[in-house]
Structure 1
Amino acid sequence: MQQESGRRSNRDRTEATRADLIAAARKLFTEKSYAETGTPEIVAAAGVTRGALYHHFADKQALFGAVVEQEAAAVAREIEKASPPALNARDALIAGSDAYLTAMRAPGRTRLLLLDGPAVLGRAGMDAIDNRHGNRSLREGLVAAMRSGSMKKLPPEALTMLLASAFDRAALAIEAGGSSEDYRAVLMALFDGLSRA
């Protein structure tokens, strides 16, 4: 019984160290950017050794990937929370869209997911993360709307990619000072255009 308790304790310590590294890296990556952040700063901020960093992550890029994955998952959780299955398909898409724009206002999130993410991880790497999280939620919502008959039937992958790009551009524009109401109005008009009369 004591061995099992010890293993659980080691697992807890391992998870805590990994979480500390991700949190420290997120803070530095958003304050300074990926390129301007060195691994010595990350380990100092996390209060761990350099060996601990390389025990958990192959390199700084792998750590950055973990940060981005965590951020993308957080955005997807907000979208899913705002668009429960009880909503009709169109209302769920609108609620999820609003949740996305709100979630992207978290400090540093647009830099991580929309600027540094594609630059550091490559477009294919970033697409893979998006497809596990926010794009998956969007695609599911679009497919549900098409199945319900409230939206024109279109190729779901292409529609997801193009709408996701529009949402990403809106998030960047809003962060730069653009009117969130204006961008929301245009995005809703896109949904209206896709809706069946």
Structure 2
Amino acid sequence: MANEGPGERVGKRVGERVGEGVRARRRAETRSALVREARALFAARGYGAVGLAEVVRAAGVTKGALYHHFDSKAALFRAVLEQVQREVGERVAERAEEQSGVWGQLTAGCAAFLDASADPEVQRVMLVDGPAVLGWNEWRALDEATSARHLSEALAGAIEAGEIPRQPVAPLTRLLSGAMNETALWLASSGRPEDLRDARAALARLLEGLRSSEE
């Protein structure tokens, strides 16, 4: 076999890189389709009522392709939950950033979390099935990386600005986060539209109680 010339070797390497890029794109598209279809099914019917065969059918891929990305149904659900929690965190941050002052950002972000929690898809995936499927500790770790992180940053900013008396941020974050998560769980089981309005009003009063008194 004749030796390859420089041009042929370069062409071969370029072809290999192009081929790998195409394969990587297809893998990403397959994973995205699996997460998208699983999310729709989990949100509509709940984790326990959905089988992997349904997800594979809806995504238009093989079961082997699914197992290439996720080694179990729980692992697929975790990817869905991560996506939902990340989106909730982004909604909270976006609403907060619309406000100019640190106090307005804190209160707007907390209200946005309750609003997001009223979304049936968020309720089912993040609040009902999330702790049950992954366990409380893993669910809390995911929450810490998204909504709780935004809350901690907002509280730290409010303390630094003198809006809240100086105190350790970590326990305050967990107390407030726990209260809001419990309220969100309650909203998930509530059938009354006015409960969200009442919860937001109660949250506003709770936050106002944290605020520094004017001299």
The normalised TM-score by structure 2 is 0.85
CA contact (8 A) 2:115 2:196 kept: no
Matches within 5 A, 1:1-197: 1-84=14-97, 87-175=100-188, 176=190, 177=192, 178-197=194-213
Q: How many pairs were matched up?
A: 197
* 1:85 Cα offset (Å): 8.5
CA contact (8 A) 2:117 2:184 kept: yes
The code of the aligned residue for 2:207 comes to F
Question: Which moved further from structure 2: 30-39 or 17-26?
Answer: 30-39
Q: Root-mean-square deviation (CA), in Å?
A: 1.6
* 1:5 Cα offset (Å): 2.3
Alpha-carbon distance between aligned partners in 1 of 2:22 and 2:70, rounded to the nearest angstrom? 21
Alpha-carbon distance between aligned partners in 2 of 1:97 and 1:183, rounded to the nearest angstrom? 11
Larger Cα-atom Rg: 2
* 1:53 Cα offset (Å): 0.8
Alpha-carbon distance between aligned partners in 2 of 1:103 and 1:60, rounded to the nearest angstrom? 25
* 1:86 Cα offset (Å): 6.7
Give every structure 1 segment of 4 or more consecutive aligned residues whose post-TM-superposition deviation is greater than 3 Å. 172-175
CA contact (8 A) 2:81 2:125 kept: yes
* 1:185 Cα offset (Å): 0.9
Alpha-carbon distance between aligned partners in 2 of 1:85 and 1:100, rounded to the nearest angstrom? 15
CA contact (8 A) 2:89 2:150 kept: yes
* 1:47 Cα offset (Å): 0.9
SS at structure 2 position matched to 1:87: coil
Ranges in structure 1 where 5+ consecutive residues have no aligned partner = none
* 1:79 Cα offset (Å): 1.0
Ranges in structure 2 where 5+ consecutive residues have no aligned partner = 1-13
Alpha-carbon distance between aligned partners in 1 of 2:42 and 2:107, rounded to the nearest angstrom? 31
